[in-house]
């Protein structure tokens, strides 16, 4: 069961902050496709420029293989201070 | 020291504590950011972090600053959760042998905290809530260090 975390405006768009996917997707691209199939608006927001992905708390730029224990976080543009 | 807190903090004692026992330091610079009311548009500021990841990313920013400016020490305290206008939201202090490095490191750390540290900021006002995204100015500020 891969775990998906949404931050900032992404969780408002989706209406959830955390979700587990069963069966677990094999790749990040498959996870994106599944989320987009469930919620087109969310799929579009996740693909927007400036949205970064952290896989097990490490930023990844490209597609990546996932395990059943992967934690995938979608991070919209950051704004601290 | 890097810490995230959902409790209010007083920058005065943090700075006093940071300055203590520094016979060889020479220069300490600090910055305190306060939540703005925006003329009544913001009643509460809400800051979200990604526990574990946020601390790690700030740690990496801090290490880069430590090397680049040859710092002896630094301190970063950042609020998360609900923050009222006027309350401190971030405190940064830097210690170096000479003032230029301390000033510049403080400036550098704040530019990176504004747009590279994993925080998401929501303003709650009389007409609802909105997520704050980095401004053009924030991107220009960080580009100065390239």
Band of residue A69 on the pLDDT scale cut at 50, 70, 90: very high
Taking residues B24-50, report their average pLDDT: 95
A80 contacts B132? CB cut-off 8 A: no
The verdict on B93 touching A (C-beta cutoff 8 Å) is no
Mean pLDDT (whole number) for B17-21 = 97
Residue B124 contacts A where some CB pair is shorter than 8 Å: no
- pLDDT for B106 equals 98
The pLDDT of residue B135 is above 90: no
Q: Which of B20, B134, B139 is nearest to B75 (CA)?
A: B20
Percent of chain B whose pLDDT exceeds 70: 100
| Residue % of chain A over a pLDDT of 70 | 100
Can you give the pLDDT at residue B55? 97
- SS percent in chain B: helix, strand, coil, step 5: 35, 35, 30
**A7, B131: Cβ pair inside 8 Å?**
no
Question: Full-prediction pTM beyond 0.80?
Answer: yes
Nearest CA in chain B to A10: B131
Sign of CA dihedral A50, A56, A57, A60: negative
Residue with tokens 């496709």: A33
Assess B132–A contact: CB distance below 8 Å, yes or no.
yes
DSSP secondary structure letter of residue B43: S
Q: What is the pLDDT of residues B59-75, one digit of tens each?
A: 999 999 999 999 999 99
**Is B47's Cβ below 8 Å from some Cβ in A?**
yes
Q: Are B133 and A12 an interchain contact pair (Cβ–Cβ within 8 Å)? A: no
How far does CA B139 lie from the centroid of its chain? Answer: 16
Among residues of chain B, what percentage have pLDDT more than 90? 91
ipTM, 2 decimals? 0.93
Contact pairs from chain A to chain B, CB under 8 Å: 64
Average pLDDT over residues B100-129: 96
- Token pair for A40: 């087109």
A80 contact residues in B (CB cutoff 8 A): 47, 78, 90, 113-115, 117-119, 121
């Amino acid at each position: 069961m891969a775990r998906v975390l949404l931050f900032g405006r992404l969780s408002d768009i989706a209406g959830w902050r955390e979700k587990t996917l069963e069966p677990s997707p094999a790749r990040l691209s498959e996870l994106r496709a599944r989320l987009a199939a469930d919620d087109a608006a969310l799929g579009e927001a996740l693909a927007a420029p400036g949205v970064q992905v952290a896989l097990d708390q490490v930023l990844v730029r490209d597609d990546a293989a996932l395990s059943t224990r992967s934690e995938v976080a979608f991070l919209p543009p950051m704004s601290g201070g | 020291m890097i810490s995230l807190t959902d409790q209010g903090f007083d920058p005065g004692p943090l700075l006093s504590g940071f300055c203590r026992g520094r016979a060889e330091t020479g220069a300490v610079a600090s910055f305190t950011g306060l939540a703005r009311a925006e003329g009544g548009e913001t009643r509460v500021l809400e800051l979200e972090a990604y526990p574990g990841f946020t601390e790690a990313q700030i740690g990496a920013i801090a290490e880069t600053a430590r090397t680049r400016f040859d710092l002896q020490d630094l301190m970063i305290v950042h609020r998360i959760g609900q923050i009222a206008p006027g309350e401190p939201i971030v405190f940064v202090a830097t210690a170096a042998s000479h003032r230029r490095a301390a000033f510049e490191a403080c400036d550098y750390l704040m530019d990176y905290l504004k747009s590279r540290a994993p925080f998401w900021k929501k303003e709650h006002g009389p007409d609802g809530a909105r997520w704050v995204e980095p401004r053009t100015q924030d991107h220009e500020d960080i580009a100065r260090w390239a």
